Amino acid sequence: MIEAIGLDADDTLWENETFFRVTEAEFASLLADHAEIDDIAGRLYEVECANLERYGFGIKGFVLSMVQTAIELTDGRIDGQAIGRILELGRDMLAHPVELIEGVEAALDALSGRRLVLITKGDLIDQERKIAASGLAGRFAAIEILAEKTPAAYARVLDRLGIASGGFVMAGNSMKSDVLPVISLGGHGVFIPHQMTWAAEHADPGPDPRLHHLDRIADLPDLITQIEAVP
């Protein structure tokens, strides 16, 4: 039997990556005024990945990586005004309203008798802001904001909440962060792809009976029933 259901937040419950891509496009057009550069987004991605260990996930680290990329790609010729504009792009992201993904509220309604746990990663203050603004906090028995979604991090959460991994289902849009770590612990993973998912979150696993695919979160309640029906 399924004891508890974990749900990712960014791009599973509400839109997130879209705002990063919009900001990235504004960043590229800002830099285009200062230098002729190919593949600005690709260079930014390299800087982001190199900084991930020290900055972690989230908007503040993204802004610092944009500033660094702008300096590197212009050999330091970028001016203070343009960098001020990059900081503003970050502040706009931090103030952006939360937009729930279609079907989320109905799915949570259908799962309301279940023990639901929200498990997200990123900037603590920004995640808390979005959780509050989403109006969904009351749906969850527990809310866990992690620095990284590794198998060890999930194991600590399950241990703390007293959930056996075999009775745990985790659903989210990242194969790498939401699905595979939980399967590696013996739980179920539900991959609900979002049309925009950050490249660093991609993974291409082989087939597994505990790995499930859904096109939309609206189908999650039925899937849970099906998982429980398998002897």
Separation between Cα atoms, residue 83 and residue 68, nearest integer Å: 10
The answer to whether residue 94 forms part of the interface with its own copies (CB under 8 A) is: yes
Strand 4-7 and strand 116-121: the pairing is parallel
Question: What is the side-by-side strand order in the sheet with 4-7?
Answer: 142-146, 116-121, 4-7, 168-172, 188-191, 211-213
User: How many residues are given for the chain?
Assistant: 231
| Residues 113-152 interacting with its own copies (rule: CB under 8 A) | 123-126, 128, 142, 145-148
E strand or H helix at 27, and its extent? helix 17-32
Contact track, its own copies, 149-168, x by CB under 8 A: -----------x--------
Q: How far is the CB of 34 from its own copies (least distance, A)?
A: 9
- Sequential DSSP letters for 116-139: EEEEEES-HHHHHHHHHHHT-GGG
List, in order, residues 6 or more apart from 5 with CB less than 8 Å away.
111, 114, 115, 116, 117, 168, 169, 170, 171, 220, 224
The answer to whether residue 33 forms part of the interface with its own copies (CB under 8 A) is: no
The answer to whether residue 213 forms part of the interface with its own copies (CB under 8 A) is: no
Q: How many residues bind its own copies (CB under 8 A)?
A: 38
Q: Which of 2, 28, 83, 196 binds its own copies (CB under 8 A)?
A: 83
Q: Which of 23, 30, 90, 173 binds its own copies (CB under 8 A)?
A: 90
Separation between Cα atoms, residue 10 and residue 145, nearest integer Å: 12
The answer to whether residue 60 forms part of the interface with its own copies (CB under 8 A) is: yes
Q: Which of 4, 13, 78, 108 binds its own copies (CB under 8 A)?
A: 78
Q: Which of 1, 36, 38, 54 binds its own copies (CB under 8 A)?
A: 54
The answer to whether residue 98 forms part of the interface with its own copies (CB under 8 A) is: no
The answer to whether residue 196 forms part of the interface with its own copies (CB under 8 A) is: no
Other C-beta atoms closer than 10 Å to the C-beta of 69 total: 24
How far, rounded to the nearest angstrom, does the alpha carbon of residue 79 sit from its chain's CA centroid? 32
The answer to whether residue 195 forms part of the interface with its own copies (CB under 8 A) is: no
Q: How far is the CB of 142 from its own copies (least distance, A)?
A: 8
List, in order, residues 6 or more apart from 66 with CB less than 8 Å away.
23, 27, 44, 86, 89, 90
The answer to whether residue 50 forms part of the interface with its own copies (CB under 8 A) is: no
Q: Which residues bind its own copies (CB under 8 A)?
A: 54-56, 60-61, 63-64, 67-68, 70-72, 74-81, 83-84, 87, 90-91, 94-95, 123-126, 128, 142, 145-148, 160
